[in-house]
Amino acid sequence: MTRQAVILVGGKGTRLGALASSTPKPLMAIGGDMVFLDALLLEIIRHGFDDILLLAGHLHEKIRERYCGRSIRGASLRVVVESGPAGTAGALRNAASLLDSTFLLANGDTLFDINLRRLSACLETRPDVLGVLALRRESDSTRYGSVRLQDGYVVAFQEKESGRGPAFINAGAGVFRREMSTFVEETPCSMELDVYPRLAAAHTILGEVFDGYFIDIGTPESLRKARLDLVNRRRPAVFFDRDGVLNHDAGYCHRVDALEWTRGAVETIRLVNETGALAIVVSNQAGVAHGLFCEADIDRFHAEMSTQLAAAGAHIDAFYFCPYHPNAAVAEWRHPDHPDRKPNPGMIRRALAEWPIDLNSSLLIGDKASDMEAARRAGIRGILFQGGDLYASTRSELEHVVALRSRTRTC
């Protein structure tokens, strides 16, 4: 499972002019205390990338001050500072000793709301290539330059301002093997102008086309748009009861080797990922309260689910579980034996507090009447799964949550 994300945050933001004179471009304010890099990090981390390298250069001390040593939603952040201006590719080579065998590489000034796990799954099935680049079709590629595809391979890059009209563009994210850093032959060196064309010439980079929200804050106009779009952005959530919906309920499921997906479960989660909705598990785990296993067992079980999903190009954004109350999805309660007896606001309510969720377009899929009651009390729609193929049973309902994004598969 690809767990590392490398984010390029060293650019000077020349086109932003005075706005970037004393602030790194990724730290442009969006609203309140949020900066653009905050939004990008949350998008990457929710896909299961939990080792984050920030490759800093220009005004690196401000990047270090805000992020170095931090943990965000369980992901650890490190800041790597280049010793001198080395370009985007030079910054990557400077961090070569820290790179995992595969990693997500993203621009720190671009956000592309896509299923990032489709990229990593694609790379894992193609040992003959060194990278998979996320592409987007733009009606006018003048600002970005264009990318030419042939049989799924990226075969050429056209520079900015050299052509107008619709084309595929490099949308600022890709998953790569560590060996791609050997294509950095000198410094300073650019990923876009030097390394990617070399990979294309060697016939070793694929392109995967997505259709999702895209923003590049490189100009004052696009920065203003990002501020309008991102500050109050919400997305639907699909809440899954776990045992009996996603995995076969054999009674107090907690052993990794006993994980058995229900038919169509992985495809259903991937469908949710492709729509842009959040996929969230809410599960009552009474076995912990009964002393049959511990919370660490549940964490390992969920980690195995995440690993298997990643191999299939899918992910769960968050897992919530509660050992003590049969209606803990929404119930407020105090357990008398809980060490500090703190009120539990319920798993769905907790998710609503921790994630930017549009409640009106969210739903819960469960296999019991109590799950439907939990959905009703939370103010969302409930779908009762009564066995069979989860994907076939829920696809039409899920497609109404958010219209499926049109996409072209190359893997």
**Residues designated catalytic:** 241, 243
Residue closest to 29 by CA, chosen among 232, 224, 235 = 224
Q: Where are the beta strands (DSSP E) in 182-256?
A: 205-210, 214-216, 237-240
Which residues, at least 6 apart from 376, have a Cβ–Cβ distance to it below 8 Å?
A: 382
> How far is the C-alpha of 244 from the C-alpha of 297, rounded, in Å?
18
Q: What residue has token string 């205390």?
A: 33
CB atoms within 10 A of CB 31: 13
207 close to 101: Cβ distance less than 8 angstroms: no
Residue type, 351: A
CA-closest candidate to residue 75, choices 115, 42, 38, 34 = 42
3-state secondary structure at position 116:
helix
- Tokens found for residue 278: 């959040």
Euclidean distance between CA atoms 40 and 42, whole angstroms: 6
Angle 274-328-247 from CA coordinates, rounded to 5°? 45
| Residues 239, 272 contacting (CB under 8 angstroms) | no
Cβ neighbours of residue 336 closer than 8 Å, sequence gap 6 or more: none
Alpha-helix runs per DSSP H in 190-236: 196-201, 220-230
Residues in contact with 227: Cβ distance below 8 Å, sequence separation at least 6, in sequence order: 29, 30, 31
Instruction: Quote the CA–CA distance of 1 and 113 in Å, as a whole number.
Output: 20
Query: What is the maximum alpha-carbon separation in the chain?
Result: 70
Contact 322, 306 (CB under 8 A): no
- Rounded to whole angstroms, how far apart are CA atoms 289 and 252? 11
Q: 3-class SS at 212?
A: coil
What is the separation, in whole angstroms, between the first and last Cα of the chain?
Answer: 18
Tokens of 180: 């791609």
Give Cα separations from 176 to 10, 42, 334 (angstroms): 20, 21, 48
